[in-house]
Structure 1
């Protein structure tokens, strides 16, 4: 039977990092199950912490053995011998490196590895109990991609309150895909057109809160949101005169304050 380890933290990201550090493993060596996506509550109240389960893929995995092995193999500090300088022809190597770098720039490494990303995320979604779910990879352009989850019986359960579960899955997808490229990219995870509907809701909220701020004659504070959702609010109010938006706090509790004069 495979060993299972559960970790709790303020966010899914922190819980996974905590677990990997504790187990001396990387994401490629474990199966990750999100048991609780967690949420920030309302103004800090009724907050729920994220809870993840990490299952090492190696059946014979033993954390204590690995820990002891790492301690034994730590190198002792000693005098560094001088390296013998060997002259080698440089021009051909330089040319070869330049060609390889140019080829890498032309290739879209996320698209090249899309099947691996889809397989990885499909396993996670299935492990959450959505056995019939299928994921479709979509290129949106400008290094933006969407993983659309279809054939799910309970979409509201998968989406979670205010998209918390989708946001956690989105974090896992982007974090996993970082292994394939160091360039900028963004993977959005969507289900039942939630992202577009949420965008419209946030834009409407932004206008209403700006009106409220002007009526009350004082700033209005919104609940904590992801950076992507805060950007939607910023953009919705950016063209309106005498309305300012400012971000306050630290992730994952960062929130917006709207001031209308």
Structure 2
């Protein structure tokens, strides 16, 4: 008899945020789960009527293939067609924002199951990133929502600006490794600064294979942070 697969439901201000919270709780990466969008959420008007996004993330067994969690009468559009729609949507958004920039599709490294990544390149694009990447997350959320509605199915589109996400991931990984070494040397916990869910997950993932330390998240809301602790010997 097959064991029941572990699932986690999570809510957030956007689908991305909800998924990141679920992945953080499971301690896995996106390629190890199936994700079902239960509610896309709504930002409301002037802060009124806002509804949170909700997802169910299910851990795949080793070697288990992914399955579509929703059935559609029409076949899924080709990746190239999705990329074309996503490019048009993001370029139009930037045009209406008065931002001059080039948008290109980052080609997957031999794996077409990866999300479509749109790279925004240009000068003085900090306005598109914002504090701790908040504006960039909003831009990605809006882009993904419009593309999904145009195609009548949920589409995983990632937006990056000037390589910000890749740089940030490298910085957080290096920070996690330095702090892990301090924990191992001093034998006491280290608490990092508050981070959004997707950045906390980067820290968790960076240290998940360390034998001498473990990580956990603590705090509430915008004050939630990662603590790196010595792993107790069994």
> Is the pair's TM-score, using the shorter chain for normalization, greater than 0.5?
yes
C-alpha displacement of 1:146 = 0.7
Q: Which residues of structure 2 form unaligned runs of 5+?
A: 1-11, 16-40, 50-70
Quote the RMSD (CA, aligned, Å).
Answer: 3.6
Of 72, 84, 103, the match for 1:135: 103
Of 241, 251, 255, the match for 2:211: 241
Deviations, residues 86-132 of structure 1 (Å, cap 9, x unaligned): xxxxxxxxxxxxxx958615x44x643433332332233233331x2
Tell me, in whole angstroms, the C-alpha distance in 2 between the residues paired with 1:256 and 1:11.
20
- Indicate yes or no: 2:131 matched with 1:158: no
Shift in alpha-carbon separation, 1:214–1:120, aligned structure 2, 3 A: same
Q: Equivalent residue for 1:201?
A: 171
Tell me, in whole angstroms, the C-alpha distance in 1 between the residues paired with 2:114 and 2:89.
20
Shift in alpha-carbon separation, 1:125–1:260, aligned structure 2, 3 A: farther
Deviations, residues 170-206 of structure 1 (Å, cap 9, x unaligned): 22222333323545x5322122222221111011010
SS of 2:195's partner is: coil
Aligned residues: 171
Shift in alpha-carbon separation, 1:177–1:230, aligned structure 2, 3 A: farther
Tell me, in whole angstroms, the C-alpha distance in 1 between the residues paired with 2:223 and 2:90.
26
Q: Equivalent residue for 1:47?
A: none
C-alpha displacement of 1:154 = 0.4
- Indicate yes or no: 2:203 matched with 1:177: no
Q: Equivalent residue for 2:44?
A: 18
Shift in alpha-carbon separation, 1:174–1:20, aligned structure 2, 3 A: farther
Of 202, 208, 223, the match for 2:193: 223
Runs of 4+ in 1 over 6 A off after TM superposition: 10-13
Q: Equivalent residue for 1:53?
A: none
Q: Equivalent residue for 1:50?
A: none
- Which stretch of structure 1 is more off in the superposition, 113-122 or 239-248? 113-122
SS of 2:86's partner is: helix
Tell me, in whole angstroms, the C-alpha distance in 1 between the residues paired with 2:98 and 2:72.
42
Tell me, in whole angstroms, the C-alpha distance in 2 between the residues paired with 1:127 and 1:214.
51
Tell me, in whole angstroms, the C-alpha distance in 1 between the residues paired with 2:131 and 2:44.
25
C-alpha displacement of 1:149 = 0.8
Of 170, 175, 183, the match for 1:213: 183
Q: Equivalent residue for 2:115?
A: 144
Alignment check: 8 A CA contact 1:117 1:173 kept: yes
Q: Which residues of structure 1 form unaligned runs of 5+?
A: 1-9, 24-99
Tell me, in whole angstroms, the C-alpha distance in 1 between the residues paired with 2:222 and 2:118.
23
Of 58, 74, 86, the match for 1:117: 86
Tell me, in whole angstroms, the C-alpha distance in 2 between the residues paired with 1:217 and 1:145.
42
Q: Using structure 2 for the length normalisation, give the TM-score.
A: 0.58
Q: Using structure 1 for the length normalisation, give the TM-score.
A: 0.53
SS of 2:44's partner is: helix
Specify the structure having the higher radius of gyration (Cα): 1
Q: Equivalent residue for 2:159?
A: 189
